[in-house]
Chain A
Amino acid sequence: MTNKISDETIDYVAVLAKLELSEAEKESAKADMERMLDYIDTLNELDTEGIVPMSHVFPISNVFREDVVKNDDRHEEMLANAPEQKEQSYKVPKTIV
């Protein structure tokens, strides 16, 4: 195994991923990621010098449209799935502590 993922890296990636991981999960995440990266490193066999990264297979450009409201007020419907709501809004925990 050539890739080594440090504790700090896993902690940092967990922050980016917004995942609370247990110590055991961190250990297995490290092992999984090292194994995947070793595999992904086979891409380095390819010479991609000068190749433009392709994010979409077709040349697509931004699609513009007039900013016209087409839907009705569906406030209630949208709030119906909220885990918690208050006064016609989504309720979230304290954001500043």
Chain B
Amino acid sequence: MDIRSLTAVELGRKIRQKEVTVKEAVEAYLTQIEAVDSEINSFVTVDREGALKRAEEVQRHIDQGMLTGPLAGVPVAVKDNLCTKDLLTTCASKMLSDFIPPYTAEAVANLERAGAVVIGKTNMDEFAMGSTSETSWYGPTKNPWNTEHVPGGSSGGSCAAVAAFEAPLALGSDTGGSIRQPSAYCGVVGIKPTYGTVSRYGLIAYGSSLDQVGPIARDVADCAAALQTLASHDEKDSTCVERKDTDFTGALTADIKGMRIGIPKEYFGEGLDEEVKARIMEAARTLAAQGAVVEEFDLALVPYAIPAYYVIASAEASSNLARFDGVKYGYRAQGYEELHGMYKTTRAEGFGAEVKRRIMLGSFVLSSGYYDAYYLKALRTKALIKAEFDKVFERYDIILAPAAPTTAPKLGASLSDPMKMYLSDIYTISVNLAGLPGISIPVGKDSRGLPVGMQLIANCFAEKKLIRAAYSFECATNRRYVAGVCSGRFQTQEEGGKQDVETV
């Protein structure tokens, strides 16, 4: 048995049944990282020593019966914008290239309390600002399906790590699509939960009213188990919602009879790649064949989501990133004259181009004289978008859409044209504005062999519907699109690759 061929939940079970030790699990993934990461660049930091030490501790706690959950002993890769005590946390920026957090993010702590073993920190767009993972100060991550292509972003390192079998499970964050879009590009499953479900404590803020932490894995069951562990009411994050309905694994039932699924016509118009469209429509037919009621509807405000998002996210970023001033942590420039000179030079040298672009835009839209015309206008648009979704969810349980308009673009193709890169988030961004949960699951590949992801969106707090629908799709297709078996250095085999793995 190849440990890497197991999903996170399967691996956890084998560890509890003493068929695999935690050390063996951690070593299998460290070995894979060693073999492939020079090519993929999923990781900024690999914590070999810490992970092996932690593996011993977790094994002891499992043996003593203190850890009994599904993720005990399971290795996890963590996006590098989530603080990890005593472990470098860079946000893929020169600004934080030497930052060792004195505390651990609540989301990571929840996983650790459940016995997960952090094996490293994953690459991303700098401060999560980007859609391709190319704005990282540590160089771009490559798509494991074709290394000439991007993995998407900003959680590109986490998604690539799961796709390349460098980790069975990873954490990402999603401000405008940063879990769902790279999950689609990399052929993995990713959930962006309802805003407030997972604590943002220790998540280095980008757009605080939009940011959510979520899981990335090879199948829906893994994501459900991880989300169940991640969700918690945390008094350290005052926007955290107290939820009682977080037994997400209970929603893993293949039954969508009568589920009302709406397809927004506006998501299937201009700009959508024909092959992506074909795969998504096939997936919709699969769900209909399982008894779901699938129909089209109008979602008129789609064109306004991206402009509203860039105003709101940039405004919040300009405020959030004011803390990086070279005083308490991070990079400090040399050769300044006085305090303000130090601030300005530090920030000019510490931030990359995309981050500066958004800080400038954010500072502008918040400035006196433009605040009403841009910032408040965007917040009013957000209210309209939220109201439109409220209406849609009176009629539908789920919205079905592509996760991105194309499959993964080539490296370098988007960087030269920021506007083009922004458009790759057109189907994911409004979900963040309305605080909704969304999931991306693989539904096939295009003719170049690059994965296509389907996005399912539900009303706030209706993650269980998402999980049920996504799980039903997996079962209806015999888990054909679940990355299952690996051989050689890395291989994400599709059709037929899942036959020898038991259903969770």
Contacts and interface: CB of A to CB of B under 8 A. Distances in A.
B337 A97 contact: yes
Contacts of A88: none
A95 B433 CA distance: 40
B308 interface: yes
Contacts of B418: 32
A42 B303 contact: yes
Residue among A13, A19, A57, A81 with most chain B CB within 10 A: A57
B195 A57 contact: yes
A29 B304 contact: no
Contacts of A60: 238-239
B304 A17 contact: no
Contact of A19 (B209, B336, B359): B359
B327 interface: yes
Contacts of A62: 238
A40 B384 contact: no
Nearest to B340: A18
Main secondary structure of the interface of B (DSSP, over half): helix
Contacts of A51: 380, 383-384
Q: Which bracket fits the contact residues of B?
A: 35 or more
A12 B367 contact: yes
A14 B348 CA distance: 10
A43 B241 CA distance: 31
Interface residues of A, number: 52
B45 interface: no
Contact of B195 (A45, A58, A83, A84): A58
Contact of B235 (A25, A40, A65, A81): A65
A62 B311 CA distance: 25
B239 A93 contact: no
B328 A54 contact: no
B102 A78 contact: yes
Interface in A22-46: 25, 29, 32-33, 35-37, 39-46
B490 interface: no
A18 B328 contact: no
Given A16-B367, A48-B384, A90-B327, A29 B379 contact: no
Interface string B433-470: 11100000000000000000000000010000000000
Contacts of B1: none
Contacts of B367: 12-13, 16
Contacts of B366: 16
Contacts of A86: none
Residue among A36, A44, A51 with most chain B CB within 10 A: A36
Contact of B357 (A18, A29, A43, A57): A29
Given A43-B307, A63-B238, A65-B235, 6 more contacts: A42-B304, A46-B301, A58-B435, A78-B328, A80-B100, A94-B338
Interface of A: 9, 12-14, 16-21, 25, 29, 32-33, 35-37, 39-46, 48, 51-58, 60, 62-63, 65, 74, 77-78, 80-84, 90, 92-95, 97
